[in-house]
Amino acid sequence: MGLKCADLDELRGLIGDCHRCALGDTRTTLVFGVGPSNADIVLVGEAPGRNEDLNGEPFVGAAGKLLDELLSSIGMARNGLYIANVLKCRPPGNRNPQAHEIETCTPFLREQLRLIDPALVVTLGNFSTRLLLATNEPITRLHGKVCHAGGMSILPSYHPAAAIYDRSKRNDLFSDFARIPDLVVSSADETVSAERMNGAEHG
Ligand code: SF4
């Protein structure tokens, strides 16, 4: 599925009342993603859970509360960034996303990322990390390390839901998030230098 939309509204319209995979038959609400269309940071989780399916917003409930704490620890609030998931519809019983669901749904996420073009993508958990880094490495090995893939700077970390009752993952999440402000600044600096070099080459 090759997508090329003018903006996020057009993409949302194109997705419509999606039934391209079977999750369209079991979801309550399609969770498209929320945040500014020009956000510097995009967080990518796994899939809507029960609360998200009912509310239509990503990261509500206990995992959302921990996410708010993480953002607050670096002086940010969720309305300053964009939040999306690998899948836009809830897998029944919160089971793991299946390969054919990921394959069918993720062109929408990739188009969101292309349109927003953030300085930094933070992948939360194994599914978004493996998808965007095209790797099978587990998140335990990758978290906190900045990677570059598909033209994006990516910081993998744990999914907040996995850290609610796990003190060590929780500490790692806070350490990983502490890197975000500097990474956004350095990514913006790299973009400015690249633009200057292009200007020097072509000007
Ligand atoms: S998960 Fe994605 S592909 Fe499947 S029905 Fe929902 S929006 Fe469509």
Neighbours of 151 (CB within 10 A): 8
CA 21 – ligand 1 centroid, Å: 5
Q: Is residue 1 part of a domain?
A: no
Please tell me if the CB atom of residue 83 comes closer than 6 angstroms to any atom of ligand 1: no
Ligand 1 within 6 A of 19 CB?
yes
Of ligand 1's listed atoms, the one at least distance from the Cα of 87 is: 1
Over the range 101-123, which residues count as b (16 or more CB within 10 Å of their CB) and which as e? Answer: bbebbbebbebbbebbebbbbbb
Is residue 25 domain-resident? yes
Protein residue closest via CA to atom 3 of ligand 1: 105
CATH number for the domain spanning 37: value is 3.40.470.10
Task: For residues 180 and 186, give the distance between their C-alpha atoms in angstroms, rounded to a whole number.
Answer: 10
Q: How many domains does the chain have?
A: 1
Residue of minimum CA distance from atom 6 in ligand 1: 89
2 domain residue, yes or no: no
**The pLDDT of residue 191:** 61
Residue 187 pLDDT: 77
Predicted TM-score (pTM) of this structure: 0.92
The number of residues making up the chain comes to 203
Q: Ligand 1 in contact with 71 (CB < 6 A)? A: no
pLDDT given at position 201: 40
81 residue type, one letter: L
- Identify the residue whose C-alpha is closest to ligand 1 atom 8: 18
DSSP run (H or E) holding 148: strand 147-149
Query: For residue 72, what are the domain limits?
Result: 8-202
Residue at 63 is within a domain: yes
Task: Report the side by side order of strands in the sheet with 82-85.
Answer: 82-85, 41-45, 120-124, 152-157, 147-149
Residue 21, ligand 1, Cβ within 6 A: yes
Going by CA atoms, what residue is nearest to atom 2 of ligand 1?
105
Local mean pLDDT, 10-residue blocks, the chain (203 residues): 90 98 98 97 97 95 95 96 98 96 98 98 97 95 96 96 94 98 83 57 38
Does some domain include residue 3?
Answer: no
